[in-house]
Amino acid sequence: MIVTTLKPLLAKNRSWALQRRQRNPHYFEKYLHQQKPHSLWIGCSDSRVPAEVLTGAHPGELFVHRNIANMVVPDDDNLMSVLQYAIFYLGVQRIVLCGHYGCGGVQAALGLPESPLAKEESALARRIAALRRDLAQGLAAYRAADAQEEESDKLNRLVEANVLAQFAQLTGSEPVRSAWQAGQTLDVFGCVYDLQSGHLKELIQQSTEESIP
């Protein structure tokens, strides 16, 4: 029988905290009583895409929401609550929607008709089915691509298509539209993360000035 414990994680936590205090004795005091993040990060739950690590952010700098395939679903109360809190209570001035190449959610949406998920009645199955609907145009482009083209390149474009589709949902959401209509400074970015290089790539951006009629 294999017994797992939290000890390895706790040990790494203690080591990390000690290193931070050694570099700056007051490191943990800055945001002890409040948080003032400059950005909201909406990303994929994939363990290879940790927002704070890949951006070099410190505690208190990013307000983070992650889900399967970085989806923006209007009837997702969890995401909408995060958006409202970040924009109107924390006053973030930037939202970063970030997908990543090699996204398992996007690949699941691509293969959904032949997947066991297609026969399931579960939250995951419903979410992947919704993602497939969001990716209708991207999937059509994938199927129409040159048969000689590398599969990885086609999948990368599908990931980018998902970022653009979710970006449209995000910029059309009630919290974002309300902030822009009120003249609140809020820049929204759509990015993709390259697992191989560790680099972020900006795909699209929209700001308050561009959105006020």
Beta-sheet strand order (sheet of 187-193):
62-67, 39-44, 94-100, 187-193, 200-206
The catalytic residue among 21, 48, 58, 199 is: 48
Give yes or no: 33 in active site.
Answer: no
**What count of Cα atoms within 13 Å lies in the side-chain half-sphere of residue 74?**
10
What distance in Å separates the CA atoms of residue 151 and residue 100, rounded to the nearest whole number?
16
Q: Is 199 a catalytic residue?
A: no
38 carries an active-site annotation: no
191 is catalytic: no
| Identified catalytic residue from 46, 65, 134, 191 | 46
Hunting for tokens 């992650």 — which residue is that?
66
Element (H, E) at 76: none
Among 65, 94, 98, 103, the one annotated catalytic: 103
Q: Which of 44, 98, 132, 134 is catalytic?
A: 44
Residue 160, H or E segment: helix 151-171
Q: Which of 65, 94, 100, 127 is catalytic?
A: 100
Neighbouring-strand partners of residue 96? 41, 189
- Determine whether 48 is an active site residue: yes
Catalytic (active-site) positions? 44, 46, 48, 100, 103
